[in-house]
Structure 1
Amino acid sequence: MKRFYLLLVLIWMPTTQADSFQYPLQAQQVAPDTYVLEGKTEDFSRKNGGFIVNTGYIVTADGVVVIDSGPSKRFGEQQRALIEKSTGKPVIRLYLTHHHPDHFLGNQAYADVPRYVLPASKRGMQQEGESFTANMYRMTGDWMRGTGITLPDKTAQDGTETVGGHALETIALSGHTAGDLVIFDHTTGVLFSGDLVFNNRAATTPHANIDAWLQALEKLQSLPFKVIVPGHGPVAQDKAPIEQTRDYLQWLITTLKDGAANGLDMNEVMQTPIPERFKDVALARSELQRSVSHLYPALELGNLQPAKQTE
């Protein structure tokens, strides 16, 4: 009898394992032939499976161009299945905006597709890919099952190329990381900015050079885009996400430099009040704390003065 009841429990138990590893992918059309899978503005967790990133794709006459493969093998496989089923066309190339794990750990699903990246990003994947993967396993658990490193095999360069009727410009920048690839579709006016731009989500800085980042934002601001797809946060039809990202970075670096100049320790700087204009920006407090750990030690060191020698 006990075995009978146990069998009933197993039959009626909600499928919290196999079914739960389906990412909630919904294609959002943002322009003709152009779609975005918008991630949550959250930290990595076992609940979201690492789906905190925006990935996109462009349907051309020759096939589909994908921008970023997402945080895991499962994600890449589900992303590609959705794309090929909904478009009826094969994926013909993959662009990777940079080397952070949520943007490239789905590459295994595209092992048969040309995978374009900047040289600095490929080096980052080679040097840090294994540690990124291990950390993602710790944060998101079984969503990562089977995920390994599939490196890109093509080098992206500055320039414009027509792919299936779409004039795609690839732009090599830096700031968020040492290699930030931007894709601008002149045909539709859609700009895929990668993590150089965040929208209503605080910017992350583990590999940041703030001065270079601010220069990159100036370049993006000058482009005649109609739609901008940030690396994280909602798609927009204006330059507000660029302006918000610039404002946040300027506030951040000023706060850190002032703290270092005034001899504050890291814990004191982490308690800096968040300005009212950033109160609704997701993860503003936690990203400030992370940025202090990433950037503050070098600023403190720069403020140390050598002791004067006495005669």
Structure 2
Amino acid sequence: MRNATLILASLLLGAGAASADSYRYSLEPVEIVPDVWVLEGVREDFARDNGGNIVNTAFILTEEGVVVFDTGPSRRYGEQMREVIASITDLPVTHVFLSHHHPDHVFGNQAFAPDTLYALEGTIALLRAQGDDFTENLYRTLGDWMRGTEVVLPTQRVSPGRITLGGREIELIAMSGHSGADLVLLDHASGVLLAADMVFYRRAPTTPHTPGLEVWREELRELEALDFHYLVPGHGPVAEGTAPFDQMHDYLAWLDDTLRDAARQGLTASEVMALPIPARFDEVAVARHELIRSVTHLYGGYERDALALLAEGG
């Protein structure tokens, strides 16, 4: 299966590929607090214009080495991330924590030593099951940005809890609301919460693998109760305080209510996709696009619930 995927990828790229210099990401590291750096992606969907650079990645300098959080959407991204890290420190990369299995977060894994790649057991299983399909889709969408990119599974399994790395106390938190297996990292030394795709800010959340919006909403309340100062969402700008949580609570509640009410009214999926989006979400990028995707992923479940309620006389 993997060989077939790579053969298809080569055909999609074609023989006349541009030089590697044509595919440079604009990775601009921002030190949000001392020794904690973020590379912020654009608030868009995958496109050749952005090379798939739609995700926030991060790295933390410790006394003994560099702790990386997510590796980006392609081999090129991972390699260029390594260049950024090397421009800031001579310390080795000792740990690469992968938040979940979605390709924008883990397809830069090839740039890092296999024995430094850490993830939840569920993330490894999901990437093993879905990685080839992700690869094919991204090669079709991004073209030569993906050249040479292959799925690399993490070799190290992590469990939730507090650990000390190079003198820094780091807490690993296991959740499931976004993808089914979501790793969040809290750096207690700085108060930085690396929330990954459990939190989107000013960009509509993606929902294809959520176990349910009610699960996601409950876990958001748990995350918000943590003692943090800076929040790095998976997509969108870094923020101080709880503004990203406020927006996520509001958006997911609206989406949940909208799908439930539409199902009870008997609206078709096409009608739901065309429903108005409240003006308060005007600053939320790609909201219409993600509403359409969410209806595709989730609406059938709401329709089944509505039919069951009707059958019970509700």
The reply to whether TM is greater than 0.5 is yes
Alignment of 1:130-209 (within 5 A): 130-208=132-210, 209=212
Distance between the aligned counterparts of 2:100 and 2:249, measured in 1? 19
Letter in 1 for 2:47: S
Distance between the aligned counterparts of 1:160 and 1:174, measured in 2? 19
Distance between the aligned counterparts of 1:200 and 1:43, measured in 2? 13
Distance between the aligned counterparts of 2:257 and 2:204, measured in 1? 16
Contact 1:23 1:78 in 2 (8 A): yes
Distance between the aligned counterparts of 1:71 and 1:114, measured in 2? 18
Letter in 2 for 1:233: G
Distance between the aligned counterparts of 1:291 and 1:99, measured in 2? 19
Distance between the aligned counterparts of 2:225 and 2:50, measured in 1? 35
- Residue in 2 aligned with 1:224? 227
- Residue in 1 aligned with 2:110? 108
Letter in 1 for 2:119: V
SS class of match (1:162): strand
Distance between the aligned counterparts of 2:79 and 2:170, measured in 1? 25
TM-score by length of 2: 0.91
Q: CA deviation at 1:80?
A: 1.1
- Residue in 2 aligned with 1:47? 49
Q: CA deviation at 1:17?
A: 4.3
Ranges in structure 2 where 5+ consecutive residues have no aligned partner: 1-16
Letter in 1 for 2:71: S
Distance between the aligned counterparts of 1:157 and 1:38, measured in 2? 27
Contact 1:200 1:280 in 2 (8 A): yes
Q: CA deviation at 1:85?
A: 2.8
SS class of match (1:228): strand
Contact 2:114 2:155 in 1 (8 A): no
Kindly name which structure, 1 or 2, has the bigger radius of gyration based on alpha carbons: 1
Distance between the aligned counterparts of 1:85 and 1:71, measured in 2? 21
Q: CA deviation at 1:304?
A: 2.2
- Residue in 2 aligned with 1:73? 75
Distance between the aligned counterparts of 1:200 and 1:307, measured in 2? 37
- Residue in 1 aligned with 2:288? 285
Distance between the aligned counterparts of 1:222 and 1:306, measured in 2? 34
Q: CA deviation at 1:303?
A: 2.1
Distance between the aligned counterparts of 2:251 and 2:308, measured in 1? 29
Distance between the aligned counterparts of 1:64 and 1:35, measured in 2? 11
Distance between the aligned counterparts of 2:85 and 2:20, measured in 1? 22
Q: CA deviation at 1:306?
A: 10
The answer to whether residue 258 in structure 2 is matched with residue 255 in structure 1 is yes
Q: CA deviation at 1:20?
A: 2.2
**What do residues 101-122 of structure 1 show as CA deviations (whole Å, max 9, x unaligned)?**
0000111111344211111111
RMSD between superposed Cα atoms in Å: 1.5
Distance between the aligned counterparts of 2:234 and 2:282, measured in 1? 20
The answer to whether residue 32 in structure 2 is matched with residue 30 in structure 1 is yes
TM-score by length of 1: 0.92
Distance between the aligned counterparts of 1:306 and 1:177, measured in 2? 28
Contact 1:94 1:113 in 2 (8 A): no
- Residue in 2 aligned with 1:211? 214
Contact 1:84 1:91 in 2 (8 A): no
Distance between the aligned counterparts of 1:165 and 1:121, measured in 2? 27
Letter in 1 for 2:275: T
SS class of match (1:304): helix
Letter in 2 for 1:252: L
